[in-house]
Every structure is written in C-alpha cells, then in structure tokens.
Chain A
Amino acid sequence: MPECRGLGHSVLRKEDPRFLRGQGRYIDDITLPGMLYLDIARSPYAHAKITRIPEVGELGVPGVAAVITGKVLDQYKLAWMPTLMSDQQMVLPIDTVKYQQQEVAAVVATSRYAAADGVAALEGLIEYDPLPVVVDPHEALRPGATKVRDDKESNHIFHWEHGDRDATEKALADADVVVEQAMHLPRIHVASIETCGCVASWNPVEGHLTLYLTTQAPHAIRTVVALVTAHLGLAEHKIRVISPDIGGGFGGKVPVYPGYVIATAASVVTGKPVKWIEDRSENLAADSFARDYHMRARLGAKDGKVTALKLDTVADHGYSDAAANPSKFPAGLFHVATGSYDLEAAHVEVDGVYTNKPPGGIAYRCSFRVTEAVHAIERMVDLLARESGEDPADFRLRNFIPKDRFPYRSALGWEYDSGDYEAALTKAMDMIGYRDLRAEQAEKRARGEFMGLGISSFTEIVGAGPSKTFDILGIKMFDSAEIRIHPTGKAIARFGTKSQGQGHETTYAQIIAEELGIPPEDIAVEEGDTDTAPYGLGTYASRSTPTAGAAASIASRKIREKAKKIAAHLLEADEADLEWEQGRFFVKGSPDRGKTIQDIAFAAYTNHPQGMEAGLEAISYYDPPNLTFPFGSYICCVDIDRGTGEVSIRRFVAVDDCGVRINPMIVEGQIHGGLTMGMAPALMEEISYDADGNIHGGNFTEYLVPTAMETPKWELGETVTPSPHHPIGAKGVGESATVGAPAAIVNAVVDALWHLGVRHVEIPITPQRVWSLLDERGAALYR
C-alpha cells in the first residue's frame, strides 16, 4: 500500500515545479491564431465632459484597426454594466468621465506595440471640458457638494447599521472609562504581480464565446456574462470561462473590469480573438481598491471590563458602488467588530459615499471588511487598556471571551464556532518574552531610546457561507468538489474554486488522501474551466478550505461508502463486518483479509457487484452550516529612530489558530505572505488623491510594495482549536495575517511614543509621520 500523506504533512507543492521552471500558463502566455490586441485610452481628468474623440483614421498609426467608444457600445446596450452591489458602472463613457485614469476609448490593433502607439495618439487628440471634482467623502456629503453621479439624488449611496443603538449608548453612559478615536484605513491596492487581462475569442459560426480571464470566480463570471448579454443572444452553454494560472488575486480578481467587456465586444465585432493585458499603472490606478474606511470608534469599560462599542463609518466607494460583498452585506462582515471580547452591546453604522475616484471596495486578502473591523477594535482595546492604567496584554487576557463560552453569540449576532484566545496570547507572550521586553523598554526610555510593544488579538470570520444568508446576485455561496477514481486507483478532482497561488492542487489532494488513502501525488486537481469544473463561487474570503475543502471530504466519504460495498463483494463478506483503515477495508478480526482502495477502484470498472453501476466517483455541493472563526495573537516589537522617524520591526511573533492544519508548510507560507501584506499598509502603502483628483500611488515608484529587504523575520507559533462544524476541523488561513498584523504594528508605534502624549498614528506610518510627531513634541534628534 503506498504511503499516504494526508492531513498535517508538509507535502511539497505539486504546482511548484511548473511555477519555478517558468512553465506556468498565465493569461499573457495564451496566443491564438489571428489574435488582435486591445489597449485603452484613459482620462487625465478626475471629472470631465468628453467633447471629442477622433475617428480611427485620424490616428495615423499603422496597424490600428478600430477605435471603440462608449457610443459604439451603447448601440449594443453595453456602455454600462451592473455591479455586485446593484449599482452600475461604465464600461466606456458616453459623455462624462468620473475619475482620473478612467477608460475613455479603446484601440484594437494587429500588435501590442501598434495598440500602445494608437492609444498614445488617441490620448493626444481626445478633448475634454473639466468639471468640478469632489475627492473627500465628508465633503461629498455636505449640502451643495459637487454631485458625482447624474443618475443619483446625492453622493450618499447607502446607510447601513447593525446592533442595538440604545443599549450601546446606555452602556457607554454607564461606563467609567470611555475612549474615542477617529481613524482612517486609507485606500490600498492588492498590486498582484500579474495584472489583470483576458483573451476573448468569439466563434461567429458556432455563436460560442471562450473567455480566458484573470478571475478568482470563473463560474460566477460566466453566469454574469450570460445574464448581461442575453439580449444579444448569448447563452450560458455557449460561454466558456477559463481561468488559467493566476499570478496573485487577493480579491482584486473578483470584479468584472471594463477591459474584459470591451475585449469581448471587440472580438464579437471583429470575429477574431482579442487580447487585453493591463500595464502596472492601469492596474493600480483603475482596478478596484481596498479599504478607504473613515471610522470613529468609542469603547467603554466598567470595573475593568469592556462593555460596549460604537462604530461610525464613512466609506469612500469612488464613483460607483462596485464593492465585492455578498449581496445582503453592503459593508461586508464589518460587524465582526466586537472581535475577541465579551461585550454587552455594540452598534455599527456605515454610510457609503460617491467621490471622483475609481470604484471598488474589494476584500483585499480579507473576508469582506474584516481588516477594518479588527483595526478598530484592536486599536480601541489598546487605548482603553492604557487609559485604564493597565498593561494591554493583561487587559486583553481579562476581557477575552472565555473558551468555555463557545459556541459564542456575539453582541452583533454572530455565532463564533470555537476559540481559545487566552492560549494564543499567552503563547505569543512566552515566545517573545513579553515581560522582559517591557522591562527593557523602561530601561531604554530612561536612556532616551524609544521602543514599543503592540498586540493584536484578532478574530477572523471566513468561509462564506451558509446559504441562508450568503449569496452573490442570488447565487448561494456553496462550493463544490467532484472526484473520479480511475481504474488504476489514481484520481482526478475538480473544484468550483480557483487557486491564485494558495496551493489547492496540493492541499485538496491531501484532504482526499486523508479520506481515501490515495497518495496526493496520485490525485490530479483541476480548477478554473467552467466546461469541466462543478459549479462554485470561487476563491476569496478564505472560503476554499471551509467550503470546497469540506466538499472534498464529503465527496470522498461518498466514494468510501461505495468502495465499502465493492470491498464486501470482493471479500465475500458482509459490509457490517468491514473496517476501514486509511486506504484499505479489511474484515474485522482478520486484518490479512483486506482490499486496498486501489484494488477496489480496479474492481469498480472490472468486477463490480451485479446491480451496481460501474465507476467510482462522487460530487458534493457543500453548504456550510456556519462560518469559521480563525483567530490569533500577534506581538510586535519596534524601535524608533529619533533622527529620521524610521520604524524598524525588531521582533514579530504571530501565533495563529486556523483549526486543523492540512499542510503546515503552506499554512506558514500563507502567514509569512499575509504578515508582509499586513505590514505594507501599516508602514508603506497608500493610494491618495490631491484636491483635483490626481492620483498619488499609481505606479510602483510611488506605491511602495515591500520587498524582502523591508520585511522582518517573522516568528510563527500555533495553537489548534478545530472548527466543530467543518468535516476535518479546518478554518481557513489565507487572510488572518493580513487582517491581524496592521493593528499590532500601529499599537507598537503608539506604545513607543505614549510617554510623549501620542495616542494614535494614522497608517501608513511613514518615517516623516513619526518624525513630525517627535518634532512637535521636541523629541526629534539630529544625530
């Protein structure tokens, strides 16, 4: 019987040989005969009326075949497209642009160079009348503010609230300590190394569209395309979406971007395949942003016990609400904001606002606004601890939801599946030597050296989700696995999810290996082709393991049921007398009398019992009974350079609890990457706009993505609290670190400067920002 490395084995990633040898197949590797190239002219203005777009003949660029405008698309009712949040977004403008770098018109050409030259010529000839611009969302809400959308009453998109307002206000009034703080989580961008793109290939003879697309959710995209093109005669069985290897998604490849639609229209019009690949600046300046929540929080305590949280938020959505949330959640899962603490009451309000900025609001490596929620609660708990005169670690330990209270119903209505927060924080404190570092801090401060310690004890909410509450455009958020065992005992498994680097080809195979005893290397895992994979909602929000991973388990167990019947037939034994050990059924009491899963698979095609259908396969569409709630405690130790304002992370300990770990190496890799992506907005990354709506951060010179040089050594630890409702007890880990890390870093910097009277620092905490705080307090040095 072959060795089976199921759960808990650090199996090397099956997909890595092709990635490491440059043999991955990404969108830009796809070349079809006769393919044309699309490139897009973009607006230099944040708000302007387009007064002239030249005809193709005026460009004088050889190889340019066509110029596509909003007026052209409008003839096919394709100038606008719906967003996931029931708003609408321009594919190409008919007369007005709403943000800088918005698509204005597209060029189709016979080569990529000709297309780029065509766009340069086109951009020089398009004429505009600039209009007033509104950039600040608070400004946008004032009466008389410049209106962003002609088709709307005002710039106010939605008001959403959750929780008990009166109980919260009463608890805050009764508290003996209340802290209040405004904080902004600025716009950031996923900046995946592969930008977005597509190849659209329309076959006019068969009326069939193949779309190779950088998408995290191929099935959902196919359904959306079918719905919005039904009036043009396209039907879902004539649409094939293929998501090949994806070079990083992080939520940025969930939305439908105008370029996809324009390329598709161009292919239909020309009858030829059309490729569109964004460049880096287009990706940063026009694709969906993340965060941009302006929050004001109040947190109260009575007798040292946290009692109530009030959270008011202005959400800057840009010119359209194109957030990628489940339909019923305009502010995502922001109401997990009570975090790891046992509160009496909480109330959360969010107002969405239009501004002259790109649309979006994607869940950047975060399960729908959880990063914002964690930042708010972890900053506030730190503040409250300090204002109560207590160490933030001790304060947390006393206020955590105790482990015997799970499943726990939060003040905002979530049912947390399992947790042991005290164990995670205690472990992190032991690993970093928390008490010793506090002593060192006191000594250093006496010498004029500033160091700080920051904690983040976050609770995540992932795995959307139970179909009673979670849907996207009405499609329930289940996910799927289809497993087929071949006669020789090898297998193929297909999923409705789509890996973007997570390692699904390995981890899904390990789940099946655990359940069926077939080694992971004998199991091919396939995703991303809507013609072959079972329907599913895709990979984002750390949902693959909680949903499709569970489906892999369930489908495997269905196969095992049938395998048992076949084994009974082969062993001429009663099913009830058979026992399973990994990879093999044997007769109870006679361990020598057994059949391996490989023997059984062969029999399923060659010698199956009379009356039983041949074959050995199963499918599962898994609807999770609840979300899963991974958690962890991070502790960060920083040193401040008083001469330059630089923050250096000396130590960072991350204790994560994601339930049962399928592949520890992949889990650790996810945490390493996630911590780096959490550090990035805390210290470096930001997209901002000046008063005219000009973007800052629209290229890699200004958008500071950390490299290995800026990244500290991450020290990882784990606790394991299985999810009680997941078939293998796993919770999902892809996003925990991104969600949890920023608050630990901010808390550490504030801690380092607390004695100077600093109570909050906005992110990104740049050297200049820290130096200004020092300088204002006479604490800057020049040596």
Chain B
Amino acid sequence: MMRFRVAQPPALVDLRRVPGLSGLREENGHLWVGAMTRQAEIEKSGLTRRRYPLLSDAARVIADPVVRNLATVGGNVAHADPGNDLPAVMLAYGATMCAVGYPDRPAPSLSGEGSRSLPLAPEKREIEADDFFTGPFETALGEGEILTGIRIPSPSAGSGGAYAKLERKVGDYAVAAVAIQLRFHGGVIADAGVALTNVGLTAIRAEAAEGALNGSDGGDEALDRAAAAAAAAAEPMADARGSEAYKRAVVRTLTFRAASKAIARARGEAA
C-alpha cells in the first residue's frame, strides 16, 4: 500500500510494546489469538495443528514464509483484503473479534489536539465475524479502535475443519480458497461453517453450502450439493487469476475437497 503510494499515512504507530496483544491460548471454551500474534506462530503451533486444523491449514498458505514471520493474525483480519486468507477462516469458525478504543470517534490527531476530550477509559467491544467484514478493506472497527484479539470457539468432539486454496505460486493471493469447519452429531453433520476467499468484495459465508452439509451423512452427493451451492454463492470477478466461470469451478472443486478433508478429520481418519 505505502510502496505504491496508495496509503500515505503521516505517521506509523508501533504496537509491539503494548502488552497483552500477542499470544495463543485455549481458555473457557475458546482459543484466544492475540491480534499481534505472528502468522508463523500459528503455523508452527502444535495446539492449532491438533485442535484447529482449519486455522493451521490456512496459516501454512498465507503469502510465503518470510511474510508469515513478520505478519500478524490481526493484521490479516483487520486489513480485510478480500484476498487475505484469515477472514474466511474466522467466518467458518464463527469467531468473535475483540476490539478496544473509541468506536464512535475519529482517530486521535497526532498533534494531541482533541485528545483531552477523550473519555479516560477506552471501550471494549466484541464483534461477531459475520458483522465484522463490511467491504473491501473495510471492517466494523472505528477509526479510533484497534483489534486486540480473536476468540475462536473450541471444537467439540467429532469436529473437523480444512482450508483448501489454489494459488498461482507461493505468495500469490488465492485464485479461490474455501474454509470449512463442521462437526458430527448423531451421525450427521451439524453446525457447518463454509466461507470463501477472494471470490467477492469480502470473504463470503456460503450459507446454502452449510445447509447442504448440515443434516447430511457427509457422503459424496451431499458434498457435491454443498460444492455447487458454494460456487453459486461466490461473486468472482474476472482478472489475471481467472475468468468468473473458472473461479466458480475452482470454488466448487475446492469445496468438495475441503469438506472431504474436514469430514476425514472429524472422523479421526486424517491428520
């Protein structure tokens, strides 16, 4: 952004010394991921690989290793580039975004003017992933707010997830990618979350695909129906990564593959 002079901020604020913004822990039925947690940490964590394979899958295909060593989970989410991988992951998980600051006020000016009129205590907010991604590069965060962390519901027994991405080369944005989280309850799929990367102005939650999976036995026909529904939910635009028809086809194929893998994981048949 700054490299191409698209963004020319008057100053950059380094948040690295603000305590409590980084880390990864399971507590009270969810995984808490600090906004400043490096993507590489997610990628290498045994906890995510064991318990949150959807997150772990995605962390391994964001950009390239050099980027992942520097870039943060919160940055990938809050930047809300439709090509970023983590927004769809958060939609599929039904995650909650934790923010702090002054949601209704503009960012405090650097000269210090106006800062005196700020309330002493900043407000804490929780925003559901479904309400968070409002447009390309736009989120529900106010200008005076920052993302502090993300809460991902801890999966119950019989859960599985997977992220399937097609990219032209390592480091490229996805041609399309599909995030799926689901669980088995009484032999049928329940609470499926299906979300799509880079086939619309924001990450897209494919509710019809979720509907096709929920209540099914996870057989190939159900997966075919879910895949077709996901492809229909996509709103791709033609570009160098492919035509609209091609991107829909890729969503369809990747939905089938991600769902197959998520089901295998839920059944303990795959790592």
Interface residues of A (CB under 8 A from B): 120, 643-646, 684, 696, 701-702, 704-707, 709-710, 766-768, 771-772, 775, 780-783
| Contact A707/B64 with A643-B253, A643-B257, A781-B253 known, Cβ cut-off 8 Å | yes
Contact indicator A782/B172 (Cβ below 8 Å): no
Expressed in whole angstroms, the minimum distance between the Cβ of B165 and any Cβ of chain A is 11
Chain B's closest residue to A706 (CB) is B169
Contact indicator B172/A704 (Cβ below 8 Å): yes
The residue from A644, A696, A705 contacting B240, defined by CB atoms under 8 A apart: A696
The stretch among B89-97, B98-106, B242-250 that forms the contact with chain A is: B242-250
The residue from A707, A710, A766, A780 contacting B249, defined by CB atoms under 8 A apart: A780
Expressed in whole angstroms, the minimum distance between the Cβ of A209 and any Cβ of chain B is 34
**Which 9 residue pairs are nearest across A and B when measured between Cβ atoms?**
A643-B253, A709-B170, A768-B242, A782-B252, A768-B246, A783-B256, A704-B169, A782-B253, A710-B169
Chain B hits for A704, CB < 8 A: 168-169, 172
Contact indicator A684/B168 (Cβ below 8 Å): yes
A752 to B208, CA, bound (A): 36
Most buried by B among A684, A706, A766: A766
5 A/B residue pairs, CB under 8 Å, sorted by A: A644-B253, A709-B64, A767-B166, A771-B250, A783-B223
Chain A hits for B5, CB < 8 A: 120
Q: How large is the interface on B (under 10, 10 to 19, 20 to 34, 35 or more residues)?
A: 20 to 34
The residue from A709, A781, A782 contacting B169, defined by CB atoms under 8 A apart: A709
A286 to B256, CA, bound (A): 43
Most buried by B among A120, A645, A782: A782
| Contact A702/B240 with A684-B168, A709-B169, A782-B253 known, Cβ cut-off 8 Å | yes
A782 to B240, CA, bound (A): 22
Chain A hits for B169, CB < 8 A: 684, 704-707, 709-710
Contact indicator B224/A782 (Cβ below 8 Å): yes
Chain A hits for B240, CB < 8 A: 696, 702
A701 to B81, CA, bound (A): 15
Q: Is B227 part of the binding interface, using a Cβ–Cβ cutoff of 8 Å?
A: yes
Q: Mark B250-271, 1 if CB is under 8 A from A, else 0.
A: 1011101100000000000000
Given contacts A645-B246, A646-B166, A772-B246, 17 further A-B contacts (CB under 8 A): A644-B254, A696-B240, A702-B240, A705-B169, A706-B169, A707-B64, A710-B169, A710-B170, A766-B168, A768-B241, A775-B249, A781-B253, A782-B224, A783-B223, A783-B227, A783-B256, A783-B257
A781 to B254, CA, bound (A): 11
Chain B's closest residue to A641 (CB) is B253
Chain A hits for B254, CB < 8 A: 644
Contact indicator A771/B249 (Cβ below 8 Å): yes
Q: Is B36 part of the binding interface, using a Cβ–Cβ cutoff of 8 Å?
A: no
Expressed in whole angstroms, the minimum distance between the Cβ of B233 and any Cβ of chain A is 15
Q: Is B175 part of the binding interface, using a Cβ–Cβ cutoff of 8 Å?
A: yes
Contact indicator A782/B256 (Cβ below 8 Å): yes
A782 to B170, CA, bound (A): 23
| Contact A782/B227 with A643-B257, A644-B253, A768-B243 known, Cβ cut-off 8 Å | yes
Expressed in whole angstroms, the minimum distance between the Cβ of B197 and any Cβ of chain A is 15
Q: Is B171 part of the binding interface, using a Cβ–Cβ cutoff of 8 Å?
A: yes
Most buried by B among A701, A705, A707, A768: A768
Contact indicator A783/B253 (Cβ below 8 Å): yes
**Chain A's interface: helix, strand, loop or mixed, by majority?**
loop
Interface residues of B (CB under 8 A from A): 5, 64, 166, 168-172, 175, 220, 223-224, 227-228, 240-243, 245-246, 249-250, 252-254, 256-257
Chain A hits for B252, CB < 8 A: 782
Chain B's closest residue to A775 (CB) is B249
Contact indicator B250/A644 (Cβ below 8 Å): yes
The residue from A646, A709, A771 contacting B246, defined by CB atoms under 8 A apart: A771
Expressed in whole angstroms, the minimum distance between the Cβ of B247 and any Cβ of chain A is 9
A223 to B242, CA, bound (A): 48
Chain B hits for A707, CB < 8 A: 64, 169-171
A781 to B240, CA, bound (A): 22
Most buried by B among A696, A706, A772: A772
A619 to B168, CA, bound (A): 51
Chain B hits for A696, CB < 8 A: 240
Chain B's closest residue to A280 (CB) is B3
Expressed in whole angstroms, the minimum distance between the Cβ of A639 and any Cβ of chain B is 15
Chain A hits for B241, CB < 8 A: 768
Chain B hits for A709, CB < 8 A: 64, 169-170
A95 to B228, CA, bound (A): 55
Chain A hits for B253, CB < 8 A: 643-644, 781-783
Expressed in whole angstroms, the minimum distance between the Cβ of B84 and any Cβ of chain A is 14
Expressed in whole angstroms, the minimum distance between the Cβ of B6 and any Cβ of chain A is 12
Expressed in whole angstroms, the minimum distance between the Cβ of B66 and any Cβ of chain A is 11
A572 to B150, CA, bound (A): 90
Chain A's closest residue to B241 (CB) is A768
Expressed in whole angstroms, the minimum distance between the Cβ of B61 and any Cβ of chain A is 11
A772 to B64, CA, bound (A): 28
Chain A hits for B172, CB < 8 A: 701, 704
A707 to B67, CA, bound (A): 15
A312 to B254, CA, bound (A): 43
Contact indicator A782/B249 (Cβ below 8 Å): yes
Expressed in whole angstroms, the minimum distance between the Cβ of B155 and any Cβ of chain A is 25
Chain B hits for A646, CB < 8 A: 166
Chain A hits for B246, CB < 8 A: 645, 768, 771-772
A782 to B250, CA, bound (A): 8
Chain A hits for B242, CB < 8 A: 767-768
Chain A hits for B224, CB < 8 A: 782-783
Contact indicator A644/B166 (Cβ below 8 Å): yes
Chain A hits for B227, CB < 8 A: 782-783
A684 to B270, CA, bound (A): 32
A697 to B145, CA, bound (A): 37
Chain B's closest residue to A783 (CB) is B256
Chain B hits for A772, CB < 8 A: 246
Chain B hits for A771, CB < 8 A: 246, 249-250
Expressed in whole angstroms, the minimum distance between the Cβ of A681 and any Cβ of chain B is 14
A292 to B254, CA, bound (A): 35
Chain B hits for A120, CB < 8 A: 5
Contact indicator B170/A767 (Cβ below 8 Å): no
Chain B's closest residue to A696 (CB) is B240
A710 to B169, CA, bound (A): 7
